[in-house]
Amino acid sequence: MQEIHLTAQSHNSVIRCGQGVFETYAPKYKEGQFFIVTDSNVFALYRHLLWETFGININIKILPAGEKSKTHKYLFEILKEMLNCGMRRNCTVIAFGGGVVGDIAGLAAALYMRGVNLVQIPTTLLAQVDSSVGGKTAVDMCGVKNVIGTFYQPQEVLADPRFLETLPEKEIRCGLGEIVKYGALDGGIFAKLTENKNNLKDLRFLSEIIYRCIAHKAKVVKDDERDLNGLRKTLNMGHSTGHALELYYGKKSHGEYVLIGMYFELFIARKLGICTGQYAEELKSLILSVIKKIPYYADLEKAADYAKFDKKNNDEKISLIVPKALGESTEIKLGLEEYVKLLKECGGGL
């Protein structure tokens, strides 16, 4: 078991990772008032574990599984049920699930009585390496992702790889998208990933890499909690193009689009002479070891239009975080026309 102390400006978090952290640290929450938020899939798989750990009479909100539950409607349902259950200011909200549950439960914890304790127990790979750490909480509105939200740090994160044993392969690939992104930002993670390129889905390997990814994110969040000085936006590598393709095509998981976005953005970085040589080849091969095939996109021009709305842009230009060298990235800004031209040159269809 490993521990990371995240000293953010607003609030400190302790992040515990490794096999056994759930059974060691979760039971203490039954000593106080607590409210669990989970989703229908996770509840079906782990209800006995929840009952064993917290007792049969738990206050719990079970959301329908999937992104469609990340709305103000369900947010207010959670808040109403917390009130009906008599939750007080010193209660703890326990987010037990993937990134959807973590984001909406985090926002509920931030709003209820102006803020109550929050514990994140992430059960997907993506939530363990990314969304449960760093305090971003949100719901979607009118089809716009994460448009209502706030920064609210959990007091504790329990990232236990035991939950990955039931995770479908597609969701493992989704988490690997974010893990490869960390590899492009951190030389140590990159070396581990390339050494284990044929073994990335192995649960023992994942348990080790989860800690390293969280440690990288915690370092970034400590120095730029509110995304203000440019450091935190490096975590968005691959996301501008990935997100645009996700919004237009929307058939794959978020993490797979991050990988596809990284593939296109690496091509752009090579074309512009920013990232070259053996490292660029190795990164491309790492991306392709997870995603295998980059689809051919016939409508790149229309998809690219969605990149205009990316939060990183602060003028007309498209901002991209691109790989530069081992453990180094940089921000570039491209006009829409040039961006589309480069995407088309890259093409996909590999």
> At closest approach, how far in Å is the CB of 261 from ligand NAD?
14
Residues 155-194 that bind ligand NAD (CB under 6 A): 163, 166-167, 171, 174
Strand partners, 120: 95, 157
By CB under 6 A, name the one of 124, 207, 241, 319 that touches ligand NAD. Answer: 124
21 contributes a contact to ligand NAD by CB under 6 A: no
**Least Cβ distance, residue 234 to ligand NAD (angstroms):** 14
Which of 70/270 has CB closer to ligand NAD? Answer: 70
Shorter beta-carbon distance to ligand NAD: residue 124 or 319: 124
Tell the smallest beta-carbon distance from residue 207 to ligand NAD (Å): 14
Angle, CA of 42, 196 and 246, to the nearest 5° = 50
| Subset of 276-335 contacting ligand NAD (CB under 6 A) | none
- Closest approach of ligand NAD to the CB of residue 102, in Å: 6
> From CA 297, how far away is CA 314, in angstroms rounded?
27
- Least distance to ligand NAD from the beta carbon of 101, Å? 6
CA quadruple 2, 34, 150, 42: dihedral positive or negative?
positive
Of the two residues 130 and 225, which places its CB atom closer to ligand NAD in the complex? 130
Q: Which is nearer to ligand NAD, 22 or 267 (CB)?
A: 22
Supply the minimum distance, in Å, between the C-beta of residue 121 and ligand NAD.
10
Which residue lies nearer to ligand NAD by CB, 245 or 274? 245
Restricted to residues 244-263, the positions that interact with ligand NAD (CB under 6 A) are: 254
Q: How many residues bind ligand NAD, per CB under 6 A?
A: 30
The reply on whether position 103 binds ligand NAD by CB under 6 A is yes
45 binds ligand NAD, rule: CB under 6 A: yes
Which of 18, 97, 161, 177 touches ligand NAD by CB under 6 A?
97
Distance from C-alpha of 262 to C-alpha of 110, rounded to nearest angstrom? 33
- Secondary structure (H, E, C), the chain: CEEEEEECCCCEEEEEECCCHHHHHHHHHHHCCEEEEEEHHHHHHHHHHHHHHHCCCCCEEEECCCHHHCEHHHHHHHHHHHHHCCCCCCCEEEEEECHHHHHHHHHHHHHHHHCCEEEEEECCHHHHHHHCCCCEEEEEECCEEEEEEEECCCCEEEECHHHHHHCCHHHHHHHHHHHHHHHHHCHHHHHHHHHCHHHCCCHHHHHHHHHHHHHHHHHHHHHCCCCCCCCHHHHHCCHHHHHHHHHHCCCCCHHHHHHHHHHHHHHHHHHCCCCCHHHHHHHHHHHHHHHCCCCECCCHHHHHHHHHHCCCCCCCCEEEEEEEECCEEEEEEECHHHHHHHHHHHCECC
Complex with ligand NAD: residue 103 or 267, whichever CB lies closer = 103
> Does 212 interact with ligand NAD (rule: CB under 6 A)?
no
Residue 123 is a binding residue for ligand NAD (CB under 6 A): yes
Determine if 95 is a binding residue for ligand NAD (CB under 6 A): no
Instruction: Based on the shown chain and the rule CB under 6 A, indicate whether residue 146 belongs to the binding site for ligand NAD.
Output: yes
For ligand NAD, the binding residues (CB under 6 A) are 39, 41-42, 45, 65-67, 70, 97-101, 103, 123-124, 126-127, 130-131, 134, 136, 145-146, 163, 166-167, 171, 174, 254
